[in-house]
Amino acid sequence: MPAPRLARRTFLKGLGGVTVGLPLLEEMLPGPTLAAPASAAVPVRAFNVFFGLGIPAPLQAEGLSGVLEPLQPLSDKLLLMRNVDHIRADANGINAHFDGATAAFTAEAPNGEAKAGGPSIDQVVRQAWHPDGLPTGMVPTLVSGTFFRRSRVGRFVHSYNANGTVAAAMQERPRDVFDRVFGVVAFDGVKNARQLRIKRSVLDSVLSEYRYFTGARSPLGIASRARITDHLERIREFEQRAFTLKDTPREGAPGPTRPRPSKLQHGGAADPGGQGIDIQLDDLVAEWRLMADLYALSIEMDRVRFGSITFLAAGERLRVKGAYEYAGRSIYSFDDARDLNASGDMGCSHEWWHKFSPGKQNEQLRAHAHMKMREVAYLLHKLDQIQDANGRSVLENSLLTVSTESGDGRHNDSKRELSGVFHAITSAQGRFKTGQIMDIGQEGLDVYNTMLAAMGCQRRLGPVDREPTLVDQILW
């Protein structure tokens, strides 16, 4: 690929190794200016794609012939990484699903049920490239997903701010995504220019207050000020939509249309006390695809450049029913409660992961994992169909990181929950190798920091005093 390639060869010349000290690593990797895309018309984008329950390491070893088969058509545009460990993220041992889920894209242990140990990849890239906010009219971060289990936020949100708090509220229904990206806000009861002028005056004074509390004389500490800054940004977005984006598509208007209400359960009803719910495969797939379509459309219209999308929560509990086919052949007929001969949580597909054994066929787990890969691939295909100004697809130009929770890595290393966690990334305009399956054998933290460095970010994840390792083999 024609770069903006990392000047790795230049900098590494004579080093004779891939492990370097932090200052050197900082020096050798370009900042946003150096790493600017070849075409200024192609924006920097970063998205995290999460799927629940993972892929046990032994199944990853089967390459693209097993549960990863749906990724085969896109394999030239993906780098599949095996043997990536989140060793520092499983120390807390609160819950393997939860720990693993918050480690995805942050490589750190959670710092609370709704707080990651640090920022996620997409947010570090966003901050590096847009320290003063995104261009007018854009959604700063789009966090969306289809999930049901919601006992801890870390199970389903996958974009985190620098202080570990969630980067944006979860949009869990197709309509939510649509409204968040394309919705128009309006002032209630405003009927004429006079009333609008008064509303404008009210908003101005509100804005001045938020500016004060984010400014030099603010009495607030860093975290609180960041929260007020978020609030200020949202008011500006509100202002923008209320006063400027009046031609945004609405229901019935040409362009994207507001989707119908979701058929699936959402909110508290989606998680009756961790007991799981019954769901028809067709309904689930239909919603997944609608969400993927909307997310792709948001990117295509350049309303969104950063964020995450979730395909089921970590430790998801669903009793799925329905026939699953792929490429014209029947893979499995799901009926988890029947197969498990149980109701409630004990009848959920989650149990197949608990029953996983490398020596067994693991038929149901394979079918579920395969099915999820098909849906992840659907999103990737969508992004591959959108052309950027440089003639390449959004998939090729963006940094997409696909990952999951523990992947039942416990069977890869009996002392470690979060070993061998599945990862796949895209080339991000030629920064990373694709078309390969690599055995990385490194910490996720080093992989992520290498990715961030290649994306031109100065910020590094993880402890400051830790010596980083450049994961050289993933770079062009």
Residues 73-102 interacting with other proteins (rule: CB under 8 A): 87-88, 90-96
**Pick 50 or 432: Cβ nearer other proteins:** 50
CB neighbour burial string for 250-270, b if at least 16 within 10 angstroms, e if fewer: eeeeeebebbeebebebeeeb
Phi, then psi, of 471 in degrees rounded to 5: -90, 80
**Pick 238 or 476: Cβ nearer other proteins:** 238
Does residue number 342 form part of the binding site for other proteins (CB under 8 A)?
A: yes
> Could you tell me which residues are beta bridge partners of residue 142?
307
Which of these segments, 37-45, 70-78, 199-207, 298-306, binds other proteins (CB under 8 A)? 199-207
User: In the range 282-321, which residues lie near other proteins by CB under 8 A?
Assistant: none
Does residue number 416 form part of the binding site for other proteins (CB under 8 A)?
A: yes
**Pick 218 or 248: Cβ nearer other proteins:** 218
Return the residue of 227, 250, 289, 303 that touches other proteins, per CB under 8 A.
227
Element of type H or E holding 451: helix 444-454
Does residue number 13 form part of the binding site for other proteins (CB under 8 A)?
A: no
Return the residue of 8, 130, 231, 289 that touches other proteins, per CB under 8 A.
231
Which of these segments, 34-42, 127-135, 164-172, 387-395, binds other proteins (CB under 8 A)? 164-172
Q: How far apart are CA 146 and CA 156, in angstroms?
A: 9
SS3 (DSSP) at 438: strand
Which of these segments, 25-33, 75-83, 192-200, 450-458, binds other proteins (CB under 8 A)? 192-200
Does residue number 329 form part of the binding site for other proteins (CB under 8 A)?
A: no
Q: How far apart are CA 283 and CA 265, in angstroms?
A: 11
Report the nearest approach of other proteins to the CB of residue 72 (Å).
31
Which of these segments, 43-51, 231-239, 251-259, 287-295, binds other proteins (CB under 8 A)? 231-239
The closest of 427, 452, 392 to 41, measured between CA atoms, is 392
Report the nearest approach of other proteins to the CB of residue 311 (Å).
20
Contact between 174 and 287 under an 8 Å Cβ cutoff? The reply is yes
**Total binding residues toward other proteins, as defined by CB under 8 A:** 86
Does residue number 208 form part of the binding site for other proteins (CB under 8 A)?
A: yes
CB neighbour burial string for 345-357, b if at least 16 within 10 angstroms, e if fewer: bbbbbbbbbeebe
Burial of 247 (0-12, 13-18, 19+ CB in 10 A): exposed
Contact between 197 and 243 under an 8 Å Cβ cutoff? The reply is no
Q: Which two tokens stand for residue 131?
A: 């320290």
Return the residue of 16, 219, 252, 254 that touches other proteins, per CB under 8 A.
219
The closest of 268, 309, 284 to 122, measured between CA atoms, is 309
User: In the range 169-188, which residues lie near other proteins by CB under 8 A?
Assistant: 169, 180, 185, 187-188
Element of type H or E holding 439: strand 436-443
Does residue number 234 form part of the binding site for other proteins (CB under 8 A)?
A: yes
Report the nearest approach of other proteins to the CB of residue 365 (Å).
12
Which of these segments, 46-54, 216-224, 247-255, 387-395, binds other proteins (CB under 8 A)? 216-224
Contact between 291 and 311 under an 8 Å Cβ cutoff? The reply is no
Does residue number 277 form part of the binding site for other proteins (CB under 8 A)?
A: yes
Which of these segments, 8-16, 53-61, 108-116, 393-401, binds other proteins (CB under 8 A)? 108-116
Does residue number 243 form part of the binding site for other proteins (CB under 8 A)?
A: no
User: CB neighbours of 151 closer than 8 A, spacing ≥ 6?
Assistant: 271, 274
Report the nearest approach of other proteins to the CB of residue 251 (Å).
17
Does residue number 228 form part of the binding site for other proteins (CB under 8 A)?
A: yes
Does residue number 460 form part of the binding site for other proteins (CB under 8 A)?
A: no
Which position has the token pair 């459309």?
297
Report the nearest approach of other proteins to the CB of residue 113 (Å).
5
- Rounded alpha-carbon distances, angstroms, from residue 313 to 146, 151, 186, 322: 8, 10, 34, 20
DSSP string, 33-65: TTT--SSTTS---EEEEEESS---HHHHTTGGG
Which of these segments, 3-11, 60-68, 248-256, 270-278, binds other proteins (CB under 8 A)? 270-278
Return the residue of 29, 53, 124, 166 that touches other proteins, per CB under 8 A.
166
Which position has the token pair 């009333």?
195
Return the residue of 221, 252, 254, 359 that touches other proteins, per CB under 8 A.
221
* Dihedral sign, Cα of residue 439, residue 443, residue 444, residue 448: negative
User: In the range 352-391, which residues lie near other proteins by CB under 8 A?
Assistant: 354-355
